[in-house]
């Protein structure tokens, strides 16, 4: 199973809006397997298909929870059905190496979609898991952390990329 290339800013694929999956076939299974492998290889807590250059509306997460639980799952065609509260956390992204920014998001969300077997999925999340899900759903809408940053912060990052001074 190949580990996919992770596209990084400013590659234009990251701005593409994902398309709904109509048939959860072998190709999608392969994509999901490859996305897990890529996410784990890169030590990420989430990955959207957009980030590996694929336009299907699919994301995976593997988020550690406070109580030694672990939330590892796939969502196909995610839709936000409820959101409430507000919290701000510093986030990073595999597509923006070295970039960190505080992002305000809903504290609690409910999403629906399908799992990799095509079964209906409803997920209620809060805390870090809610952050990860909203972050990945942004990717599927062509939005990355750079869009959430101030102009100053964005320009500084672009400058650092040009210099190649980031680690």
Which positions are annotated as active-site residues? 136
Cβ nearer to Co ion, comparing 127 with 142: 142
Residue ranges of alpha helices (H) inside the chain are 26-41, 127-140, 151-163
- Secondary structure tally for the chain: helices H, strands E: 3, 7
Considering only residues 92 through 111, tell me which ones interact with Co ion, judged by CB under 5 A: 93
Q: Which of residues 71-90 bind Co ion (CB under 5 A)?
A: none
Secondary structure of residue 48 in the 3-state scheme? strand
Q: Which helix (H) or strand (E) holds 123?
A: strand 120-126
If binding means CB under 5 A, how many residues of this protein chain bind Co ion? 1
CB of 95 to Co ion, least distance (A): 5
- To Co ion, the closest distance from the beta carbon of 78 in angstroms equals 15
Q: Closer CB to Co ion, residue 24 or residue 54? A: 54
| Tokens encoding 160 | 């650092």
Positions in the binding site for Co ion (CB under 5 A): 93
């Amino acid at each position: 199973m190949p580990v996919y290339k992770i596209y990084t800013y400013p590659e234009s694929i990251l701005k593409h809006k994902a398309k709904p999956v109509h048939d959860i076939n072998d190709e999608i299974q392969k994509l999901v397997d490859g996305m897990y492998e890529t996410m784990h290889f890169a030590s990420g807590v989430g990955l959207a298909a957009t980030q590996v250059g694929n336009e299907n509306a699919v994301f995976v997460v593997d988020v550690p929870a406070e109580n030694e639980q672990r939330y590892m799952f796939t969502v196909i065609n995610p839709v936000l059905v409820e959101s409430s509260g507000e919290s701000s956390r510093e986030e990073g992204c595999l597509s923006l190496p070295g970039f960190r920014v505080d992002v305000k998001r809903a504290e609690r969300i409910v999403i629906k979609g399908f799992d990799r077997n095509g079964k209906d999925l409803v997920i209620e999340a809060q805390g870090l898991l809610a952050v990860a899900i909203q972050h990945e759903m942004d990717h599927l809408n062509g939005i990355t952390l750079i869009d959430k940053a101030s102009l100053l912060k964005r320009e500084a990052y672009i400058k650092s990329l040009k210099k190649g001074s980031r680690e």
